[in-house]
Amino acid sequence: MIMKAVKGLGILAIAFLMQTQVFAFCDKCESSKNPCITCQSEEKTLCKTCELSGKTCETCKAKKTSTCAKCKVEGVPCTTCKVRMLGMKSYKMSAKKVCCTKQSFLGKKMKENDKHWHIKMRHRVEFVDGKTNGLKATTRFVIGKTYYSKETGMKLVAQAMNVFLEVTASDGNSLIADAEAARFTKLYIQKTFGDVTVIFGDRPIILGNQRFIGSSNWRQLPQTFGALSAETNVNENAHLYGAVLFKRNGVTQATTKEYNTGSLLLNGTYKVSDSLNLETYGYLIEDKHNTLGVKGKGSVSIGMDNPVSYEVEVAVQSDPSITTDAYSGDVSTKYYRVEAESKLKSISFGVGFESFGDKDSGTTGFSTPLGSLHKFNGWADIMAGKAATGDTNGFSDLFVSVGLNDVIGRPSLSYHVFNSVTNDIDYGSEIDFSVSKKVSDRLTLSAKAAIFSAGDASALSDTNKFWIMASSSF
C-alpha cells in the first residue's frame, strides 16, 4: 500500500516536470486557459459571463453586479457592459468593439474554416480512509478538435477522453468512482438560426449552479448527455433554454442510461434589476420525477465595503409526466436553499442552508440524479447518494465557509452539519479544505481534504479523503 502510494506521488511529480500550459479544474471554467482562482476548482463563479454578482473573476478580471444577457462575445470587449470576455488579451482592441445590444452569440461564431485542436491532461492521486480503504492514481487524457465553416454556418466539435489507471489499492472501497474508461465526451453539431442556437449530439450540459443539471467534471470521466437543445436571448434581460435528452452518459457505466421516450429540460433567466436575477426551471426526467423551481440571486449592500451576494431557491418534485411501463413510484416532496457570501478585506466568507425534503406522502425523498454532486454537501461524497436517489427521511446541510484571498494557494475551509428532515437523525458533520497554486504558466497543483465524522445515531461511517492533483493543457 505504501509503495503504491509512493508510485502515485512519483507519477504526480512527472506531471509537474511536464511544464505544459495550465488547464482549469473548474467545471464552468473548462473553456478557460487559466485557472479560476476565485472558485478554487469548485466553480463558485461563472467565468464565461461573470453572472455571479459581487465576485471578481480572476480569468476575465471583471467585477460585475449584473450581466448583459446578450454579452456572449469571446475575444472582444463589449461597449455596453464593458466586460472583458474570455480570450481577450488586451482592452486596447477598439477596432473590434461590438455593442452586445446589436449582436448576440458572436462568441459562438469563429473565423472562416477555423480549426482548433486541444490536448489536456489531469493527474490525480486519491486516498480514502473509512469503513474500507483505498488509493487510486489516475490520469485523464483529453484530445479534441473544433471546426467552424462560415459557408454553412455550422460548428463541429469532437472531444475524446481516456482515463488511465496507474495505481490502485483497495479493500473493497466503492467511494473512488474513477476507473479506466474511454469515450467521446463531446461529439455534436451546432448551428445558429438568427438569434436561436441549436445543438445536436453528446456534450456536457450545465444549467444554473449544477445542482440539478451538471457535468460532474470533478470525476475523471465527466457526465454528458445526448440531446437536442435550443437557446435564445428573448431580449437583453431574458434568456430561454430547452433540451430533449435521449441519453445520459454517467461518470460510471452504472449511471449511464438510454431514455425510451426522452426527458425534457426547460430553463429561463430574467434580469429584474442590478440586484436581482431570476431563474425558473422545469426538469421532466423519464421514470424519475418532474422538478419545478425558481431561484433568485443577486447582491445587496448593507454598509460593508463589499456587497453581499445571495441565492434563494425553492423547488418541488412530483410524479413524472414522461413514463414507461417500468415506472411504479410515487413522488411528492420539496427542496429549498439559501446562501450568502461576501468579503471582508482579504477574507471571503459564506453561510448557507440546504434542505432535501423527506418522502412525505410519496415513496422517496427529494433527489437530483442529473446534478453535479461533488460540489455540494461535502467533498467526502458521503451524502451524495442521498442527494442522487433521495432519502425517505430527507436531509439538511447547514454550512459555513471561509477563504484567504491574499495567501499563497488561496486556501479555503468549509464546515457542514447534516441532519435528517424527519425522525431527528444526526447524520454527522464534515470539514473540507482546499488549496490551489499556479506554480508556472504551464502547471497548476491542487490539494484537497475532506474529513467526515458520522453522527452517533447514524448508520454512516467516519471517512477521510485526500486528493493531490496536477493539471496541464497544450
* pLDDT tens readout for residues 79-97: 444 443 333 333 233 333 3
Give mean pLDDT, residues 333-342. 97
Higher pLDDT among residues 132 and 407, named by residue:
407
Q: Is pLDDT at 103 greater than 70 in this prediction?
A: no
On average, the pLDDT of the chain sits at 80
Higher pLDDT among residues 143 and 19, named by residue:
143
Q: Is pLDDT at 13 greater than 50 in this prediction?
A: yes
Q: Is pLDDT at 432 greater than 70 in this prediction?
A: yes
User: How far from 109 is each of 105, 191, 192, 193, 291, CA to CA, in Å?
Assistant: 7, 9, 9, 12, 34
Q: Is pLDDT at 473 greater than 90 in this prediction?
A: no
> Under DSSP, is residue 3 helix (H, G, I), strand (E, B) or coil?
helix
Give mean pLDDT, residues 187-207. 96
Q: How confident is the model at residue 430 (pLDDT cuts 50, 70, 90)?
A: very high
Report the greatest alpha carbon distance in the chain: 66
Q: Is pLDDT at 400 greater than 90 in this prediction?
A: yes
With contact defined as beta carbons under 8 Å apart, do 357 and 334 qualify? yes
Q: Is pLDDT at 10 greater than 80 in this prediction?
A: no
Higher pLDDT among residues 458 and 44, named by residue:
458
> Under DSSP, is residue 113 helix (H, G, I), strand (E, B) or coil?
coil
Q: Which residues pair with 106 in a beta bridge?
A: none
Q: Cell triple for residue 155?
A: 460548428
* pLDDT tens per residue across span 128-145: 988 878 899 999 999 999
**Whole-number percent of the chain with pLDDT over 90:** 60
Give mean pLDDT, residues 248-266. 93
List, as one string, the DSSP characters of 190-236. EEEETTEEEEEEEE---BTTSSSB---TTSSS--EEEEEEEEEESSS
With contact defined as beta carbons under 8 Å apart, do 397 and 427 qualify? no
Phi-psi region at 255: left, alpha or beta (left = phi > 0; alpha = psi -120 to 50): alpha
Give mean pLDDT, residues 305-328. 93
Domains of the chain: 2-473 (2.40.160.10)
User: How far from 420 is each of 129, 316, 329, 446, CA to CA, in Å?
Assistant: 25, 18, 22, 33
* Pairing of the two strands 181-193 and 257-273: unpaired
Q: What is d(CA 359, CA 10) in angstroms, rounded to the nearest whole number?
A: 48
Burial 289-324 (b: 16+ CB within 10 A, else e): bbbebebebbbbeeeeebbbbbbebebbbeebebee
Higher pLDDT among residues 41 and 290, named by residue:
290
Residue 434: enclosing H or E segment and its boundaries?
strand 426-440
* pLDDT tens per residue across span 171-187: 655 568 888 999 999 99
